[in-house]
Amino acid sequence: MSNIFSSSIGKKLIVALAGLFLILFLMVHLGVNLSLLLCKSSRPFNSAAHFLASNYVSKVLEIILFSAFILHIIYTLILQIQNWLARPKRYRIPNFSQISFFSKFMIWFGGIILIFLFIHFADFFFKTKFGHIEEITYDNIRYYPDLGSLVIQKFQMPGFVIFYIVCFIILGFHLWHGFQSAFQTLGLNHKNYTPFIKKLGWIYSIVITCGFSIIPVIIYFFY
């Protein structure tokens, strides 16, 4: 039992559980971001961001979130390296018919997503933590980091908008592949409900990709 997480199956289990937690987080993140479009003021967005950053439950979830990111990335890399080492010599005529395009290059697309995460955290999370974002006052009482204005400012830069959308398209494919793989790793692989899981993963991936992508487009053209 003590060696379960050092085995290949244990590592895949960690990747799957961390990935599913991140999938849930993306839905919450999307809901907060959409408030910028649904409300004329950035106050709901700033208030939500302030609430998530200030209450104790969110602080615990923040630690879990970063742990999930780190575990998902590290164990994915370990599994990929082990896979490469297990087959050091390439087949002269590789059989790609059983491997989807994204499955073959998933580790490289994951690298692009990782670069995006570093930029995203540097632009928003770390600036908030270290006080590099201007504050705004509501009701003459409370001060909030004006993240809403920063997001709008970023999404008025065409290069950033294009990069953001491209990264979320790549993330969408990553989610589409990873959604089903996670449930398969957990043993939920059966002819009766696997088709439903595939469709759910497909719908979720489209919602996340389109939801996050439409925000910079609307802000760029209409704000």
| pLDDT tens-digit readout, 134-153 | 888 877 767 778 899 999 99
Nearest to 22 by CA among 143, 138, 174, 139: 174
In a domain, 95, yes or no: no
Q: What spatial distance separates the first Cα and last Cα of the chain, rounded to whole Å?
A: 56
In a domain, 18, yes or no: yes
In a domain, 94, yes or no: no
For residue 88, the model assigns a pLDDT of 56
In a domain, 132, yes or no: yes
| pLDDT tens-digit readout, 198-212 | 999 999 999 999 999
Q: Per DSSP, which regions of 21-98 are E strands?
A: none
Q: Is 59 left (phi over 0), alpha (psi -120 to 50) or beta?
A: alpha
Q: Which residues of the chain have pLDDT under 50?
A: 1-2, 91-93, 95-98
In a domain, 89, yes or no: no
Q: Please return the burial class of 101, using the count of CB atoms within 10 Å of its CB with bins 0-12, 13-18 and 19+.
A: exposed
> Cα-flanking dihedrals φ and ψ of residue 96, to 5°?
-90, 0
In a domain, 91, yes or no: no
User: For the domain that residue 147 is a member of, what is the CATH number?
Assistant: 1.20.1300
d(CA 107, CA 109): 6
157, two tokens: 């830069």
In a domain, 92, yes or no: no
Q: 182, 16 in Cβ contact below 8 A?
A: yes
Q: How many separate domains does the chain show?
A: 1
In a domain, 114, yes or no: yes
For residue 9, the model assigns a pLDDT of 83
For residue 1, the model assigns a pLDDT of 47
Single-letter code of the amino acid located at 129:
K
d(CA 96, CA 105): 12
Residue ranges making up the domain that contains 34: 4-84+101-222
Single-letter code of the amino acid located at 162:
I
For residue 155, the model assigns a pLDDT of 95
Residue 193 has a CB neighbour count (10 Å cut-off) of: 12
> Cα-flanking dihedrals φ and ψ of residue 187, to 5°?
90, 5
For residue 185, the model assigns a pLDDT of 87
